[in-house]
A and B are shown apart, each in its own frame.
Chain A
Amino acid sequence: MSYKLTPVALIAMALYASGTCAEETGTPMFSFSGFGTLGLVHSSEDKADFTSSYFKPNGAGYSHGWSADVDSLIGGQVTANLTPQLSAILQVISEQNYDTTYRPHVEWANIKYQFTPDISIRAGRVVLPAYLVSDYRKVGYTNPWVRPPIEVYRLIPISNSDGIDASYRVRVGELINTMWGSYGKSESRHPAGGAVKAKSLWGLSNTVEYGPLTARIAYLNANVTVESVNALFDAFRLFGPEGIAMADKYDFANKLFSFLALGASYDPGSWFIMGEWGSVESRSVGGKAAAWYVSGGYRLGNVTPYVTYAQINPDNLSDPGLNVSTLPPSLAGPATSLNTALNSLLSSKPSQRTVSVGGRWDFTKNTAFKLQYDHTRIEAGSTGILINTQPGFQLGGKINMFSATVDFVF
């Protein structure tokens, strides 16, 4: 808890130290902005839950016929311009947490020093820019869809990092190139218990903007621990060299994790097309996975219909596990249970493809209404992105989802 407050404390200190406003810039010292989404989701699969984040405990389907927890959130932000170079930002979001509460959490809290209009560094809790829309993935109003394509955006579920980052922008004629680098760590509580920790979390990205075209490449690397799965692998280690080898292959304890993403968008105003490809790799139960999407829309006045295709393909969804036949009967039972638990984890890796059709209606100032229909085909042997699977749930299969949101900024 005290660790979470550190960036806030930094900002408080900066505010205290700075005293008053930077009058000569003409910009107000403090500005407040907010954003939010009210959403409802229905899923045709009633023996499991669909939800939008790896860190949410339930959603639409089994727990709720119509769930407001999947997409609803509200966020507020205070920006303080301390001097023309020095600014601080605090953004707080309330959304469904791992423990089903809506207790607000600090999304960003950092101090920025702008050496020149094109070079800046930040310290504190900063965005982890894995994707094209990472900077504003929670600000529904800025995106065409109800939510960013989940197949790709699930690869990196964390959205911020505690540490430092720096960005450098260069303009060559009409081309703008922005390089970014960061170093930090992250820790998030997971509904299954324990935390997901990323240490030595560093990343690099490069974005090129040329008129309506934006193209981007990003790479992230970290030592990742997923505490909830590791007790299982401690049990595997009791089964001699074979068990230890399996535990080393699959546990998620301080495992090197890497992520590579490419993305591009073209938005001349009256229509847009965008796509991203991402790939993760770690020697863990998470293994390797690659995902991509392509999305396009056409703006007809205040209405923007769009269509998206997305898919995610992981590596193995099952493993023979420990060789039970060579074990004495007293150990065969526990070994079979461990194998079942391992395969249950492996089958929970999403393997699916989704076609989404939807529309955004900018019906009044600063507010948009969106409807989206998703048809998802889950590959054999996978639960897909669904969680809380109940007795009778079949791996693989098809689901239909219907979502409606109202997104606003203020």
Chain B
Amino acid sequence: MNRAGFIIIGLALCLVAAEAVADVVAVVSAKSPVTTTLSKSQVVDIFLGKASRFPDGSQAVPIDQVEGSAARDEFYLKFSGKSPAQLKAHWSKIIFTGRGQPPREVSNSIEVKKFLNENPNAIGYIEQSAVDGSVKVLLSQ
């Protein structure tokens, strides 16, 4: 095989690897009273400020990862179809009429799990690889 072939295969592997790392799932704390799985739009509505409760009626507090993080970009793109710029525009619409503020941010999936552990009514998203016994997966993409 020539050099170009190796490069193409190498690039393809990189892409596959990037995909696997960036796979995100929506999670709640293992202690959360929420038991049902949520649809994509139910999850998205909570993060976009359109819903403040889980389908069972309990309060839902979304927790974001920081702007620019791969998990955040992947979550919004896959769950809502929004790019980082579209997400910024969405929140600007809400902020500049006083209808709300975006979710609190933490720096990575470990911090999300820590926050969920302390806040049983919170909902977050983490990389698939970060899922452990402390969280329940609501929806995987």
Contact = CB atoms under 8 A, between A and B. Distances in A.
Binding partners A and B: yes
**Highest count of chain A CB atoms <10 Å: which of B41, B42, B45, B97:** B97
A327 B38 CA distance: 79
B68 to A, nearest CB: 8
Nearest to B49: A117
Interface stretch (A26-34, A185-193, A222-230): A26-34
Interface of A: 26-27, 31, 33, 35, 75, 77, 79, 81, 87, 89, 91, 108, 110, 112, 117-118, 122, 127, 135-136, 139, 141-142, 171, 174, 176, 209, 211-212, 268-270, 299, 302, 362, 365-366, 368, 409
A365 B67 CA distance: 10
A174 B39 contact: yes
Q: 4 closest pairs, A vs B, by CB?
A: A269-B81, A117-B52, A89-B98, A362-B85
A166 to B, nearest CB: 13
A142 B53 contact: no
B92 interface: yes
Nearest to A139: B96
A117 B53 contact: yes
Given A33-B96, A112-B98, A142 B86 contact: no
Contacts of A302: 83, 85
A35 B85 contact: no
A35 B96 CA distance: 9
Contacts of B89: 141-142
Contact of B88 (A122, A136, A209, A409): A409
B51 interface: yes
B85 A368 contact: yes
Contacts of A108: 97-98
Contacts of B92: 33, 35, 136, 139, 141-142, 409
A79 B96 CA distance: 9
Contact of A127 (B68, B83, B97): B97
B80 interface: yes
A171 B96 contact: no
Contact of A174 (B41, B81, B84): B41
A24 B80 CA distance: 30
B123 to A, nearest CB: 15
A31 B52 CA distance: 21
Contact of A79 (B80, B98, B104): B98
B3 interface: no
Interface in B32-66: 39, 41-42, 45, 50-53
A112 to B, nearest CB: 6
Nearest to A90: B98
A79 B101 contact: yes
Nearest to A301: B83
A362 B104 CA distance: 24
A366 B53 CA distance: 29
A270 B81 CA distance: 7
Contacts of A112: 98
Contact of A299 (B41, B67, B83, B99): B83
B95 interface: yes
Given A79-B101, A269-B80, A362-B85, A209 B96 contact: no
Contacts of B114: none
A211 B96 contact: no
24 contacts: A77-B96, A89-B98, A108-B97, A135-B96, A136-B97, A141-B88, A141-B89, A141-B92, A142-B89, A142-B92, A142-B96, A171-B51, A174-B39, A174-B42, A209-B50, A269-B80, A269-B81, A269-B86, A270-B81, A299-B83, A362-B85, A365-B68, A365-B84, A409-B88
A302 B85 CA distance: 8
A283 B67 CA distance: 53
A176 B96 contact: no
B120 to A, nearest CB: 14
Contacts of B98: 77, 79, 87, 89, 91, 108, 110, 112, 122
Nearest to B84: A365
Contacts of A362: 83, 85
Interface string B67-83: 11000000000001111
A189 B97 CA distance: 23
Given A87-B98, A91-B96, A108-B97, A211 B85 contact: no
Contacts of A135: 93, 96-97, 99
A127 B99 CA distance: 11
B41 A136 contact: no
